[in-house]
Amino acid sequence: MAFPRNEIDELKQSFKQLSAVTEGGTEFILIPSLMLPEGCEPQQADVLLCPTPRDGYVSRLFLSAKVVHKGPGQNWNASGVRICNRAWWAVSWNAIQPNAQPPAQRLAAILAQHLEAFRCKRN
Amino acid sequence: MANKIEVFVHTNGEAKTITIEDQETIEQLLKQAAPDRHAELELFVEEEHHERNRRLCDVGIRNRHHVHCRPPEHGKKVEISINGKPYRTHTGDNSVEHLRKLGGIPATDILSQLKDRKFVDLDNDAHVKVHGHEVFVSHPPSAGSS
């Protein structure tokens, strides 16, 4: 696995079934049954994290379903795209500014940033 | 000169506001905060333990300060992970403020606990029950939708 071992281990403490999958030379992290932020329907989904640049984004998070939610990420710009023989959906979301020098982010931090797209903002 | 101060005393996840003179001792504060079990509690200010006979004003407890009480056995140190690095902290209630200090998390970053296949964002004034091996992750706020 090309991802740092300690970062995978950190995620594995909560997501025991995660695995790395590769397609077209790109490595993804497949996480089954991730619990989505409160208010999402369905409440959980399989997700595919691409922590490297893709589609003009610094990183991307694909979900196994088009989730209904009240978070700020409402622009679904990937619908049913096929990766590793499955259909995936993704919202347009910049975990960090595209032009900014990306700080060295841990995989767990990148994943958490993408999930903000689906989180209702508190008052 | 004695001043009346308000102290927020956190015990077992609950906060109690105690009005007391700053010349009083920690013993007196504990008695007011937990009349039935004050003898079994110890007091911590920003995770530093203070003896019961010390005066509040001498240990830096001022108006509207937050302090924590817990039994000594809850102070057992265990390992947790913050951004992949191991840290040691006491079992039982840990303030998010303490966890942020421990991991050197900037105030602008979001701190989450990774628990049961979920990221749980932690409010700055919240407390987390620590048993050992908890995983915390921080990140700057996202840039957002494009």
List pLDDT tens digits, range A32-84. 999 999 999 999 999 999 999 899 998 999 999 999 999 999 999 999 999 99
* Exposure class string for B91-120: b at 16+ Cβ within 10 A, else e: bbbbbbbbbbebbebeeebbbbbbeebbbb
Q: Is B29 exposed, middle or buried (0-12, 13-18, 19+ CB in 10 A)?
A: buried
| Cβ–Cβ contact A34 with B under 8 A | yes
**Coil, strand or helix: which one is B92?**
strand
Nearest CB partner across the interface for A106, out of B121, B137, B141: B137
**Pairing relationship of beta strands B135-139 and B77-82 according to DSSP bridges:** parallel
Cross-chain Cβ contact B143/A98 below 8 Å: yes
From the list A80, A111, A81, the residue with the least C-alpha distance to A95 is A111
- Give pLDDT tens digits for B7-59: 999 887 788 999 999 999 999 999 999 888 888 888 888 777 888 889 999 99
Question: Does B117 contact A44 at a Cβ distance shorter than 8 Å?
Answer: yes
CA gap B2, B59 in Å, rounded: 15
Q: Among A15-24, A27-36, A60-69, A88-97, which stretch is predicted with the lowest mean pLDDT? A: A88-97
Domain positions in chain A = 5-118
A39 Cβ contact partners less than 8 Å away, ≥ 6 residues apart: A69, A70, A71, A120
CA distance B144 to A117: 7
Rounded Cα distance between B57 and A107, Å, is 45
The single-letter code of the amino acid at B98 is H
- DSSP 8-state code for residue B21: E
Distance of CA B110 to the CA centre of its chain: 18
ipTM confidence score: 0.85
CATH 2.60.40.10 fits domain B76-139:
no
In the A/B pair of chains, how many CB contacts fall below 8 A? 85
Phi-psi region of B132 (alpha: psi -120 to 50; beta: other; left: phi over 0): left
The ranges of chain B annotated as CATH 3.10.20.90 are 4-73
Query: Other CB atoms closer than 10 Å to residue B140's CB: what's the count?
Result: 15
The model's pTM is 0.75
Mutation for testing the B interface, residue in A12, A13, A14 having most B CBs under 10 Å: A14
CATH number of B4-73: 3.10.20.90
Which regions of chain B carry the CATH code 2.40.240.130? 76-139
pLDDT given at position A31: 97
